[in-house]
Structure 1
């Protein structure tokens, strides 16, 4: 293997390593892989074609939340993992959802049956960076879940988990909910009272 090819492969691996083993056709092209070379690597079994213009390294050992990097790339880095999916990332509650929940900017037009899209402009304080994706903070996650009027028992468990692990304080949660959505604040207040009495 020539030095140029080794260097190109190393740079591709470095990029994919920051994204759960995933990379886009545009990223590969910017590193020197022509579209013909990309097709060759898929046919040779070096790369998996995950979606149109989206690949994953075959030798990549999957991590816990790697699929979230895939949806970030799918959204062209406009999506933030949110709602029940963010609760799973933070290890709070036991929400079950058959789809990945993403918050995207209003006007976002892409769709996929595997994702549930929520539309909002998220302030930087409500978002934290992870390896290959962004996720709403525990405070914002709980408010978002409450906004959807989810199961009160589940919400109470998630709030209790977040408090016990030091991710939130009750005071800050109440304050953030009141500033974002009065209806969510009401659900959160009832869930807090339920968590405190259980």
Structure 2
């Protein structure tokens, strides 16, 4: 197959998938593994991770690794045909979701995806969590399904992430208008005892406790001026 023909066939995917195509998608268009390897050697494609290639002319985004890992979950299906709660796919969550939302400074050396069933990956930096997410638990960032800020914070609290990290993310999310304190308080009560609040189920007390750990409070945060971006 001519290089120009192969690139034209692959462009149906790369133009709509952040510049990327999976090897299974390529095979479905008639571009086999040998051709993909030849295109890579010729400098037309970069291997992002096992089974995922990117056009070298594509813009590299900060979320490229997460996008590639998500594409591989349902490798044959085009990204634009997948529902946010794809039963054969997954949703970026936990530390990965926090990073994609731009919240906190958690160590983020792994890509974490929540899936409805057990999954495995050849990539050692990909980790899976099994959970039945609801539609309200998921949002999209540049077409990539990601757990909402509320769900992300709840997931991290379930993992018992340090309270100061959680509080920092809460503060940043409120300042970015991504989270409401009253809504959060309604959902975090089950973690009160875990974080040292001796009133089981009291989300408001837990929220005050967490924010006090970084020197603020619900009242201060609720009335804090939002910094002007320049």
- TM-score (norm. length: structure 1): 0.82
* Structure 1: segments with no counterpart, 5+ residues: none
Q: Deviation per CA, 1:4-51, whole angstroms, max 9, x where unpaired?
A: 82xx63452342243332211121122332333223212322212334
Flag the 1:80–1:114 CA change in 2: closer, same or farther, 3 A: same
Flag the 1:64–1:120 CA change in 2: closer, same or farther, 3 A: same
Flag the 1:107–1:124 CA change in 2: closer, same or farther, 3 A: same
1:130 pairs, out of 141, 146, 151, with 141
1:149 pairs, out of 139, 155, 160, with 160
Mapped pair 1:95 → 2:97: no
Tell me the SS of whatever aligns to 1:98: coil
How far apart, CA to CA, are the structure 2 residues paired with 1:137 and 1:11? 35
Flag the 1:127–1:15 CA change in 2: closer, same or farther, 3 A: same
Q: Deviation per CA, 1:103-123, whole angstroms, max 9, x where unpaired?
A: 122322335321232221211
Point out the structure with max Rg over C-alpha. Answer: 2
Which residue number in structure 2 is paired with residue 45 of structure 1?
43
How far apart, CA to CA, are the structure 2 residues paired with 1:132 and 1:32? 26
How far apart, CA to CA, are the structure 1 residues paired with 2:105 and 2:50? 32
Flag the 1:156–1:52 CA change in 2: closer, same or farther, 3 A: closer
Q: CA deviation at 1:169?
A: 0.6
How many pairs align? 192
How far apart, CA to CA, are the structure 1 residues paired with 2:20 and 2:143? 9
Flag the 1:110–1:64 CA change in 2: closer, same or farther, 3 A: closer
Q: CA deviation at 1:132?
A: 4.9
- TM-score (norm. length: structure 2): 0.72
* Structure 2: segments with no counterpart, 5+ residues: 75-87, 196-205, 221-230
CA RMSD of aligned residues (A): 2.7
1:83 pairs, out of 78, 94, 98, with 94
Tell me the SS of whatever aligns to 1:93: coil
Which residue number in structure 1 is paired with residue 226 of structure 2?
none
Tell me the SS of whatever aligns to 1:156: helix
Flag the 1:66–1:109 CA change in 2: closer, same or farther, 3 A: closer
Identify which of structures 1 and 2 has the higher relative contact order when contacts are C-alpha pairs closer than 8 Å and 6+ apart. Answer: 1
Bigger helix share: 1
Tell me the SS of whatever aligns to 2:171: helix
